[in-house]
A and B are shown apart, each in its own frame.
Chain A
Amino acid sequence: MSEVTKKTVVVTRFDPDQDEVPKTQSYEIPVQSDWKVLDALNYIKDEVDPTLSHRWSCRMAVCGSCGMMVNGEPKLTCKDALSNYGNTIEVEPLANFPVVRDLVVELDGFMERFKKVKPWIIRAKELAVEEGATRQSPQELADFKQWSMCINCMLCYSACPVVGNDPHFLGPAAIALGHRYNMDSRDEGSAERNEVMLEEGGVFACSYANECSEVCPKDVDPAAAVQQGKALSLLDWAKGLVLPRGSE
């Protein structure tokens, strides 16, 4: 084992069955020097207080379950080293989401927005399996690859100043996902998607604070997707003026 020290973890507690408003609870626990914030929460759950509720699974920064606010910043807790912090660490549920219980937030709104951008390949005529795999050059892959790396951890929604104020805003991850399909050489659905992008709460609701890209634990750049999405959707819109929908 690595070196063990003591730290105080201050956790937001909220049980809608019993509490009117969230409260905090402090746990002083022994921690190992190689622990992540999630390890501390799991220690509390297993050894100190089994009533604590939080989500986690892969503990290798790819399933996206364990996003929380750590000392006020949205973090993926399985990737965030405890050694980044002093002797007291505050852990809260992700900002800008309704809280279900303790550190668990509600994702319904996100899942709806996610579906709204039609995150699937749209083609005028579907390919048959017999036609084999589509050709796609390494460059064409690179054109959208980075926006396919989002793990849906929701950190960008917590960081985004618009998400907190505008309930219609699609938000960084959903826009980046729509953009990912728009940029995919196999896709023909950008016109449909750009209708959504141009709606109220679409790309133009973004104030370009860039917070989303800064907090992303997977180095996705949703802010760039939003900016590119603005240009591309306007282009579609402009083309639409020349070519009304349905004509060719």
Chain B
Amino acid sequence: MEVIEHDVVVVGGGAAGIRAAIAAIEEDPNVSVAMVSKVYPMRSHTVSAEGGAAAVAREDDTLEMHGYDTVKGSDFLGDQHVIEYFVEEAPKELTLLEHWGCPWSRNEDGTVATRAFGGMTTKRTWFAADKVGFHMLHALFQHSMQFDRIVRYDEQFVTRLLMEDGAVKGVVALDMRQGEVRLIRGRAVVLATGGAGKCFPFTTNGNIKTGDGMALAYRAGVPLKDMEFVQYHPTGLPGTGILITEATRGEGGHLKNSEGTRFLVEYDYGLGTKAELGPRDMISRAIIQEIQAGRGIEGPYGQYVHLDLTHLGEAKLKERLPFVLELARTYVGVDPVTQPIPIRPVVHYMMGGVDTNIDGATDLPGLYAAGEVACVSMNGANRLGSNSLTECLVFGARSGRCAVAFARGASAGDEASLRAQGEEEAHRIETLRGKNKGGETIAGVRREMQQAMEDGCGVYREQGSMDAAVSALAQLKGRYADLVLRDTSKVFNTEIIAALELGNMLDVAEAVAVSAAQRQESRGAHTRRDFTTRDDQNWLHHTLCHFDPAGPRIDRKPVTLGHWEPEERKY
């Protein structure tokens, strides 16, 4: 078995992972960094982010305002010291990206342009037309290529963390092209594998978003935090779930029901004058309520409402929202210049994730996490649009630096013991390859899992449906053991990868459902029909979900408040 040694191993090659790798080199130019990803870095899901990245840039804006907006958006579940650090670092990180070549859109005077976004009191979202994630990812990846001390391991799927004496010592990775397992040793590991939208049937997320890093940390004993908070983006294309950016509303787009009414203005959804510029959780609920009130529009994939951009004019759409034009024309055959776009709420983002502190450090020595895989607690119960791309940079960088500092004082571990773990993992994977005894298919179990999540953990939830999801998932985990696999080849065996991903998703999905079923209040994206209000008395705390072979175990953790006192969340 091949054994490779580095100082720091970064798992994932999206915005958070690349930023962590670069930060590690910035911290110590002699450090050796492995960047291990199951795809080529430019395929990472950061690429699909559209609307922008938030950081204070204008004269009329302040860090205080960005902080308050984020705390309020989080429904007061965000940790305020984390948010204060975030808003302070945000402008620096986006400036760095500018220096590294990101093609930010510009004002006439050459300064970086900003646009309005949901829940933000002023224009503070930096953008590169409507392909911001794409441009940020490519700028980061291309910038990283000049550092020879960042060694890439592309298309290598990490299946296990290497452990010794209760500390992380690297990872086991399956090389997809060779079909061989190798050890990539490192005295610190940074998880940056993104979210887990594919636990749901209808999501903006790409096929690769299967919660891998969450499952790795969870099984190694690190709790998943605040998993009940799943963000539904208000505007996805029916059928595919393809994202239509919030920037459409930032640039002045309207949401309309079957009667052609701007329902966020005409009806009271608690959004006040914000209307279309409200936060995602509230707008997604409003759309569902419109549909339930009989004011939806019937389509081949169920009821939807309209996103109307026709009044913005072709010139502005071409300049600011060219990707939206391409997506609507290609995937629903609608030309937004002249026709409204059909949209409905769609699973987009996990507020929850691997429990970390402000350094990105978990309670497992040597293990760090940043970006969507992590829950550093800056998003609380609802993330504001355009905060997450910046989060990847701010906490990717901090995790990378802290991982280097940790690695300096840590031992590399005993090779024989790590090798034994690798052999064990190789055996597990080998058993899976072409495993021809079993009665369940990957696609079948995956479909039922996704259905259970949609039924139990949708925009609106109640005890019965969440409990049903919990038991369905427990049952599906049992059936997972009975999977049948037919591909016996070692070379680029995507069936094994899909089986391992499904295993990860089942663990993550169960954590979501169990966390959701126990929180008896409505806060942010967790909205219950049976507990309709926020209850700070009993529930102003984070949820921790611990892995246990007998089933997930729930625990709680205090929220760090600060100078913003919890208040009723009204816009």
**Pairing of A with B:** yes
A-to-B contact residues, CB < 8 Å: 1-2, 15-18, 34, 45-47, 49-51, 53-65, 79, 100-102, 104, 106-107, 111, 114-115, 118-121, 126-127, 129, 132-138, 140-141, 144-145, 148-149, 151-152, 177, 181, 184, 186-187
Interface size, chain B (Cβ < 8 Å): 64
Query: Are B47's CB and A62's CB within 8 A?
Result: yes
Contact A136 B110 (CB under 8 A): yes
Docked pose: A106 CA to B154 CA in angstroms: 11
Measured CA separation A111–B144 after assembly (Å): 13
Q: Is the CB–CB distance between B98 and A134 below 8 Å? A: yes
CA–CA, A102 to B154, complex, Å? 19
Among B39, B107, B138, which residue has the most Cβ atoms of chain A within 10 A? Answer: B138
Query: What is the interface of chain B, defined by CB distance below 8 A to chain A?
Result: 39-40, 42-45, 47-48, 92, 94-96, 98-101, 103-112, 131, 134-135, 138, 142-143, 145-146, 154, 177, 206-208, 239-240, 242-243, 300-301, 323, 326-327, 330-331, 441-443, 485-487, 489-495, 498
The answer on a CB contact under 8 Å between B443 and A47 is yes
Q: Are B240 and A59 in contact (CB under 8 A)?
A: yes
Residue of A nearest to B100 (CB): A121
Q: Which chain A residues border B495 with CB–CB below 8 Å?
A: 50-51
- Contact partner, A54, options B92, B107, B494, Cβ 8 Å: B494
Contacting residues, chain A, for B109 (C-beta < 8 A): 135
B44, B109, B207: most-surrounded residue (chain A CB, <10 A): B207
User: Which chain B residue shows the least CB distance to A118?
Assistant: B146
Neighbouring A residues of B110 by C-beta, 8 Å: 135-137, 140
Asked if residues B40 and A58 are in contact (CB atoms below 8 Å), the reply is no
> Quick one: given A120-B143, A141-B106, are A152 and B42 in contact (CB under 8 Å)?
yes
**Contact partners of A101 in chain B: CB under 8 A:** 489, 491-492
Pick the contact of B443: A46, A64, A111, A119 (CB < 8 A).
A46
Of the candidates A50, A121, A187, the one whose C-beta lies within 8 Å of that of B486 is: A50
Point out the residues of chain A lying under 8 angstroms from B143, CB to CB: 120-121
| A133 cross-chain contacts in B, Cβ below 8 A | 94-95, 98-99, 104, 111-112
Residues of B within 8 A of A54 (CB): 494
Query: Are A57 and B103 neighbours in the complex by a CB distance under 8 Å?
Result: no
Chain A: minimal CB distance from B484 (Å): 9
Report yes or no: B490 in contact with A17, Cβ–Cβ below 8 A.
yes
Q: Closest CB-CB distance, B452 to chain A, in whole Å?
A: 18
The answer to whether A100 touches B177, judged by C-beta atoms less than 8 angstroms apart, is yes
A53 and B99 contacting across the interface, CB-CB below 8 Å? no
Given contact pairs A119-B145, A133-B95, A137-B106, A15 touches B39 in the complex (Cβ within 8 A)? no
Residues of the B chain whose Cβ atoms lie less than 8 Å from the Cβ of A45: 494
Given contacts A57-B39, A59-B206, A63-B47, contact A51 B330 (CB under 8 A): no
Q: How far is the CA of A190 from the CA of B301 in the complex (A)?
A: 51
* Contacts A58-B45, A62-B48, A137-B110; A121 near B101 (Cβ below 8 A): yes
